[in-house]
Amino acid sequence: HNFTSKSAYLDIGPLKYFVFVLVLILYVLIIGCNVLLIVVICVNRTLHEPMYMFLCSLLVNELYGSTGLFPSLLIQLLSDVHTISAPLCFLQIVCIYMYANVEFYNLAAMSYDRYLAICHPLQYKTLMSLNMIVRLIVLSWCLPLFYVIILTSLSASSQLCGNIIDRLFCNNYYVVKLACSNTTASNVYGLVYTFTVPIGLAVLIVYTYMRILRVCCSGSGQTRQKAVSTCMPHLVSLLNFSFGCFFEVSQGRFDMSYVPHILRIILSVYFITCQPLLNPVLYGVQLRKIRMSCKTLFFRKKNLAP
């Protein structure tokens, strides 16, 4: 069984080679920027701290999510017939849904880490031990995998009455819409998960930043400056990712025909392209230790030269 895309996003005629080059450059840029920061964090022992370990997990997820989209998209751009086999389609669903969930879990873990560091500085090393760090990172990857496997299994077991997906990439919501069998189990499971885990994580994130804000308002100027410098990248990344997910959900649930075509293309892949591009720049520029580590890594030989 193959799925066919009737999406006008891919029907761009002679421009497909130009778009292919642009997408390829974007993919290479994402890979390069994220790998660079991962290498910097791994080779520099001063960055082996909880915040940077969570950041490393976040950057690995950016690489994973991008790889779930770009290779398939590049192939589809050069192909005249936009088809994908059912196994590859469901594999892409697993990759992209895993990416979205792991991203949210990682951002929640990072906000909890900043909350402990700013609101409980004396107990921070005890509360955020190596075991706790490993536990949070493992949960950030294993829980989404468990959820996505069950969700995809429910969708894959449904009997489908069509094979046309009007998207740039495979989306579980669009596959379920093609089902002619009962999809109540899949729908209920998705709703229960949405109203428990993501909303629970959102409440945790809001609570941690409210506590951090309270400490900033009552603390010294140095405390406020430290809190702003360390929390600002997390907040910007969280807001950017939330907007991207909102755009993605809106495209499937609401009529977006009034939105310009090029804008719909951007919104359809925003949460998988902008986040992997933004985070390396955001954290690399904003966090002083990473800036200094990059300078040391790339300019050490120059500085040591006579």
**CATH number of the domain to which 94 belongs:** 1.20.1070.10
Three-state DSSP at 85 gives strand
Could you tell me if residue 179 is inside a domain?
Answer: yes
Could you tell me if residue 296 is inside a domain?
Answer: no
Could you tell me if residue 298 is inside a domain?
Answer: no
**Hey, what long-range contacts does 177-182 have (CB within 8 A, 24 or more apart)?**
179/155
pLDDT higher than 60, residue 9:
no
What is the rounded average pLDDT of the residues 165-188? 80
70, 150 Cβ separation under 8 angstroms? no
Higher pLDDT, 132 or 168: 132
Task: Determine the pLDDT at residue 11.
Answer: 61
**pLDDT per residue as tens digits for the range 191-211:** 788 778 878 888 888 888 888
Interior CA angle at 207 toward 202 and 211, to 5°? 150
173: left (phi over 0), alpha (psi -120 to 50) or beta: alpha
Structural domain that includes position 143: 2-288
**pLDDT per residue as tens digits for the range 93-146:** 899 999 999 999 999 999 999 889 888 888 998 999 999 999 999 999 999 999
Higher pLDDT, 165 or 219: 165
Could you tell me if residue 34 is inside a domain?
Answer: yes
pLDDT higher than 90, residue 31:
yes
Alpha helices (H) along 44-194: 50-78, 86-119, 124-127, 130-156, 172-177, 184-194
| Pairing verdict, β 2-5 and 83-85 | antiparallel
Element (H or E) spanning 245, and its range? Answer: helix 221-253
Q: Domain count of the chain?
A: 1
**pLDDT per residue as tens digits for the range 70-89:** 888 888 877 776 777 888 88
Task: Determine the pLDDT at residue 30.
Answer: 92
pTM, entire model = 0.86
How does residue 304 score in pLDDT terms, banded at 50, 70 and 90? very low
Element (H or E) spanning 206, and its range? Answer: helix 197-218
